[in-house]
């Protein structure tokens, strides 16, 4: 599961993509409240510069979202860290469903910590590039498909955790139906400019949300592109 202990020279990086640049990012994340050592360790070792376009590699270890094409972004490292913390807070999930593969960075972070990651991406070309990155890094516990993420991936439900990397006005009932009774769902919810990062857990017969912070994500769209 831990696939980053022996990085290649390309993964190690040079200059603004070096381990020193990653360490500066980790120091900043700690200052901003990220405390889970497991998450910080993965972000230290995972080469984020391999998940962005070559022209943006020098900015890979800034704490900011970056464009990846098709109107999509690779999430800000703080957001990735905070969502991952919330996902593994109670237990390490054996099965995670991710809606919105994007660059593949969030899936790769989860793959280093969890059992199997099932990730769905509606934009086929983004998914092809993400799969190439997974192969390059030797990640073998990610399963992916090109589909409308709003319907989830019922074939392998229930999931111990579900994570959304795009924001809708609300969470589709189909996703809650695929979550284990003791599972957790982490997602940005709300319209542009007023999105909240929420963590949902079951209380009795209802799913109750905990506020994790204010965020800004691309919208959750349907269909396949």
Across the range 9-28, mean pLDDT stands at 77
Give the Cα separation of 46 and 58 in Å (integer).
15
Query: Which residues share a beta bridge with 211?
Result: 198
Report pLDDT for 23.
93
pTM, full prediction: 0.91
Give the least confident one: 8-12, 77-81, 115-119, 140-144.
8-12
Q: Which member of 75, 103, 144, 199 is catalytic? A: 75
Give the Cα separation of 134 and 198 in Å (integer).
28
pLDDT digits (tens, 9 = 90+) for 19-50: 889 999 999 999 999 999 999 999 999 999 99
Domains of the chain with bracketed CATH: 66-215 (3.40.50.150)
**SS3 call for 41:** helix
Using pLDDT thresholds of 50, 70 and 90, give the confidence band for residue 131. Answer: very high
The closest alpha carbon to 119, from 93, 139, 145, 137, belongs to 145
Report pLDDT for 79.
96
Bigger pLDDT: 189 or 218? 189
Rg of the chain in Å (alpha carbons) = 16
- Which residues, 6+ apart, have CB-to-CB distance to 5 below 8 Å? 45
Using pLDDT thresholds of 50, 70 and 90, give the confidence band for residue 193. Answer: confident
Give the Cα separation of 129 and 119 in Å (integer).
14
Report pLDDT for 221.
86
Q: Using the predicted structure, report yes or no on whether residue 147 has a pLDDT greater than 70.
A: yes
Report pLDDT for 187.
96
Angle at 28 between CA 27 and CA 33, to 5 degrees: 100
Give the Cα separation of 35 and 129 in Å (integer).
31
pLDDT digits (tens, 9 = 90+) for 207-216: 999 999 999 8
Across the range 56-68, mean pLDDT stands at 95
* Other Cβ atoms within 10 Å of 182 Cβ, number: 11
Given phi > 0 = left and psi -120 to 50 = alpha, else beta, which region is 83? alpha
Q: Using the predicted structure, report yes or no on whether residue 14 has a pLDDT greater than 70.
A: no
Report pLDDT for 9.
54
Report pLDDT for 196.
95
216 assigned to active site: no
């Amino acid at each position: 599961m831990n696939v980053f202990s022996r990085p290649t020279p390309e993964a190690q990086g040079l200059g603004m993509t070096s381990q020193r640049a990653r360490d500066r990012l980790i120091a900043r994340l700690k200052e901003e409240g990220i405390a889970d050592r497991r998450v910080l360790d993965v972000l230290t070792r995972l080469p984020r510069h391999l998940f962005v376009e070559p022209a943006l590699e020098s900015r890979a270890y800034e704490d900011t979202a970056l464009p990846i094409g098709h109107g999509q972004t690779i999430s800000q490292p703080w957001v990735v860290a905070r969502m991952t913390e919330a996902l593994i807070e109670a237990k390490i999930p054996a099965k995670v469903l991710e809606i919105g593969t994007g660059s593949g960075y969030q899936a790769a972070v989860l793959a280093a910590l969890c059992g199997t990651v099932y990730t769905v991406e509606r934009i086929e070309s983004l998914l092809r590039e993400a799969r190439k990155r997974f192969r390059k890094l030797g990640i073998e516990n990610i399963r992916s498909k090109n589909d409308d993420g709003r319907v989830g991936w019922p074939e392998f439900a229930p999931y111990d955790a579900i994570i959304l990397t795009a924001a809708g006005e609300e969470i589709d009932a189909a996703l809650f139906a695929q979550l284990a009774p003791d599972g957790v769902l982490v997602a940005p919810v709300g319209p542009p400019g007023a999105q909240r990062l929420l963590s949902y857990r079951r209380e009795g017969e209802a799913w109750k949300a905990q506020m994790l912070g204010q965020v800004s994500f691309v919208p959750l769209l349907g269909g396949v592109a």
